[in-house]
Amino acid sequence: MPSCSVFPVSATGNDMTPVPVHRPALPILATVNWPEGAGTPDPATAAALAAAAEKLTNGQLVAIPTETVYGLAANATDPDAVAGIFQAKGRPATNPLIVHVSDESMALTLVSQWPDIAQKAAAAFWPGPLTLVVPKADAVPDIVTAGGRTVALRCPSLKVTHQLIKLSQRPLAAPSANRSEAVSPTTAQHVLEGLGNRIGMILDNGPCEHGLESTVLDCTVNPPKILRPGPISAVQLEQALGISVYSSEPETSGAGQGSGSDTVLRSPGTQQRHYAPRTQLTLSKNAHSVITQLIQDGHRVGWLCNSPEESAVQTLAKSPEVLVIPMPKDPTAYARSLYATLHALDQRGLGRLIVDAVPSGPEWAAVRDRLNRAAT
């Protein structure tokens, strides 16, 4: 960590000797941009990717964009580098990391078995927002998998990320680039706000396409299980795999508690409070009266509202104590904007966030899952 000297205050204050003070340096923020259809990246992007690859090869941490959320990357084959991820995030050592690969052949170097289901799912959805849990090879350090015998693998589709893995010539362990339990970052600015003084470099590719984390599919069980719903839906998986896929979600805002009879061992990271803004968040089917009461009790309220056009909403929105955020009616657009909205509202000094319950259909599964966890 670089240090700088300040003058003239010393530890005792009674002489003029400069005392070194350790100040965390801000990370290098490098813009990257590689449009679809462009064969090669522009020179600035190529230079930023080369610099990032060098840092990763040297065991340093780099925050990277992906098509889902920003990740905090380290060389997955270097246990010391991976330890830096856990430290920077404040992540419990019991929560394993996803390893990002450039293609299936890199994945095969990290597994002891490649089940048919994994092979089919990779063929259908890689590169893309699908993580496959499979038996791990000895090449994967135990710290990555939290001592477990399986490893979670994902091949990101964003071109700059793909290229970075190729340049690094190594698989990259990368959880979302936020402090543990906080809302995942969907812009470089979110990473800077959450982890800025803990990492050396951030690659800024603008807002993420999906805005929610990848679907996690456990391929070591039969039928395969969705451990975390995400951009690739159960229906898409079933169509591609030709078999039924097990999925479950918490019915209420109890993180990690399966619904009623569900005895499935969930993804370790989903057993904890997750994805939560700092402001207390409540899901409501009756937001209007809940908010009216909160205002009477003296709270300032943010409302993630599904029907801003309703006249009752417009009346309430005139209150200076309420900030109404109209949310998209389409689940893909809702997912893309959810975390950015929560990050922005956390800056507003509101007492409470009230979120209209979202529809019950399967296309809303990933959004519902994140909202239930945020409301814990």
Candidates 79, 135, 141, 148: give the one binding ligand TXA (CB under 6 A). Answer: 148
How many angstroms separate the Cα of 149 from the Cα of each of 91, 118, 138, 269, 309? Answer: 20, 16, 9, 16, 51
Per 3-state DSSP, the chain is made up of helix, strand and coil in percentages (nearest 5) of 30, 20, 50
Can you tell me the distance from the alpha carbon of 147 to that of 342, in angstroms, rounded to the nearest whole number? 33
Can you tell me the distance from the alpha carbon of 352 to that of 375, in angstroms, rounded to the nearest whole number? 11
Using the rule CB under 5 A, give the single segment among 122-130, 171-179, 330-338, 356-364 that binds Mg ion: 171-179
> Could you tell which of Mg ion, ligand TXA, none binds residue 241, using a CB distance below 5 to 8 A set by kind?
none
Can you tell me the distance from the alpha carbon of 143 to that of 121, in angstroms, rounded to the nearest whole number? 26
Binding of Mg ion by 306 (CB under 5 A) = no
Q: How far is the CB of 180 from Mg ion (least distance, A)?
A: 8
Q: How many residues bind ligand TXA (CB under 6 A)?
A: 29
Q: How far is the CB of 255 from Mg ion (least distance, A)?
A: 13
Binding of ligand TXA by 226 (CB under 6 A) = no
Can you tell me the distance from the alpha carbon of 121 to that of 115, in angstroms, rounded to the nearest whole number? 10
Q: How far is the CB of 214 from ligand TXA (least distance, A)?
A: 3
Can you tell me the distance from the alpha carbon of 234 to that of 361, in angstroms, rounded to the nearest whole number? 12
Residue nearest to ligand TXA (CB): 269
Candidates 56, 61, 165, 174: give the one binding ligand TXA (CB under 6 A). Answer: 174
Q: What are phi and psi of 351, to 5 degrees?
A: -80, -35
Instruction: Considering only residues 211 through 240, tell me which ones interact with Mg ion, judged by CB under 5 A.
Output: none
Q: How many CA atoms lie within 13 A of 143 on its CB side?
A: 17
Binding of ligand TXA by 270 (CB under 6 A) = yes
Can you tell me the distance from the alpha carbon of 19 to that of 306, in angstroms, rounded to the nearest whole number? 56
Residue with tokens 């970075």: 164
Binding of Mg ion by 176 (CB under 5 A) = yes
Nearest to 87 by CA among 75, 99, 72: 72
Measured N-to-C along each axis, helices 159-168 and 43-57 cross at an angle, to the nearest 10 degrees, of: 50
> Could you tell which of Mg ion, ligand TXA, none binds residue 200, using a CB distance below 5 to 8 A set by kind?
none
Using the rule CB under 5 A, give the single segment among 105-113, 175-183, 247-255, 341-349 that binds Mg ion: 175-183
Candidates 133, 232, 287, 340: give the one binding ligand TXA (CB under 6 A). Answer: 133
Q: How far is the CB of 99 from ligand TXA (least distance, A)?
A: 8
**Nearer Cβ to ligand TXA, position 168 or 306?**
168
Can you tell me the distance from the alpha carbon of 3 to that of 368, in angstroms, rounded to the nearest whole number? 45
Outline where DSSP puts E strands in 194-285. Answer: 201-204, 215-218, 225-228, 246-247, 280-284
Q: How far is the CB of 216 from ligand TXA (least distance, A)?
A: 5
Using the rule CB under 5 A, give the single segment among 137-145, 157-165, 168-176, 335-343 that binds Mg ion: 168-176
* Residues 208 and 67: beta-carbon distance below 8 Å: yes
Q: How many residues bind Mg ion (CB under 5 A)?
A: 1
DSSP-assigned states of every residue in 98-118 = EEE-SSHHHHHTTBS---HHH
Distance of CA 284 to the CA centre of its chain: 24
**Nearer Cβ to Mg ion, position 339 or 364?**
339
Binding of Mg ion by 267 (CB under 5 A) = no
Q: How far is the CB of 150 from ligand TXA (least distance, A)?
A: 4
Candidates 131, 186, 248, 341: give the one binding ligand TXA (CB under 6 A). Answer: 131
Binding of ligand TXA by 176 (CB under 6 A) = yes
Instruction: Considering only residues 5 through 24, tell me which ones interact with ligand TXA, judged by CB under 6 A.
Output: none
User: Pairing between strand 201-204 and 62-64?
Assistant: parallel
Residue with tokens 């700092």: 278
Q: How far is the CB of 344 from ligand TXA (least distance, A)?
A: 21
Site string for ligand TXA, 92-111 (x = CB under 6 A): ---xxxx-------------
Instruction: Provide the 10 A C-beta neighbour count for residue 99.
Output: 25
- Binding interface with Mg ion (CB under 5 A): 176
**Residues that bind ligand TXA in the complex, under the rule CB under 6 A:** 66, 68-69, 71, 95-98, 129, 131, 133, 145, 148, 150-152, 154, 174-176, 213-214, 216, 227-228, 267-270
